[in-house]
Amino acid sequence: MPAVVVAVSCSPSHTMSKANQGYIRLVVGIGVEGDAHAGATVKHRSRVARNPAQPNLRQVHLVHAELLTELQAGGYSVVPGRMGENITTSGIDLLGLATGTRLHIGEEAVVEVTGLRNPCHQLDRLQPGLMAAVLDKDAPGNLIRKAGIMAVVLVGGDIYPGDAIRAELPPEPHRPLECV
């Protein structure tokens, strides 16, 4: 199955859910034009409180539609944009990518994967138990965060639902994703 964009979402205010759009525009070093989390420095409120000058490694949030399907099967009411993602994907193992992977999206845009999204308690405000539903454990008992990945914009451009996604892995050795 080819990797594609299922939906694109944006919100000018700090809300958990983001409204689906016909397209979003990525701006180099900033993120999604018009989104509350866009900027060269961190915009997530908890991180701003710690150090407002730190670089924004969370300019673009991507979630795989396969997670939404899994959550829906568990009784959760989730649709693209509901968990705050800017880009909902299908056909690509986002969580299995290496740190530094470049995703070529649509005609022009390129984002570089910086790490995992660390899910927060705000998910439970959407629906009780949602935060726990996006966490899991592997066989040895290590925590698995399934709430998507974060990226920075290297090459800007417009992204539309239906756009193709191509992953370009970084040079080896590959580093697994960690929370950013």
Which pair of structure tokens corresponds to residue 21?
């759009």
Can you give the pLDDT of all 180 residues of the chain as single tens digits? 799 999 999 999 998 899 999 999 999 999 999 999 999 999 877 888 888 899 999 999 999 999 999 999 999 999 999 999 999 999 999 999 999 999 999 999 999 999 999 998 899 999 999 999 999 999 999 999 999 999 999 999 999 999 999 999 999 999 999 999
The answer to whether residue 178 sits within a structural domain is no
Of 22, 91, 28, nearest to 62 by C-alpha is 91
Domain that holds residue 69: 4-168
> What CATH number did the domain enclosing 133 receive?
2.40.33.20
The answer to whether residue 174 sits within a structural domain is no
Q: Total structural domains in the chain?
A: 1
Backbone angles phi, psi at 125, to 5 degrees: -70, -30
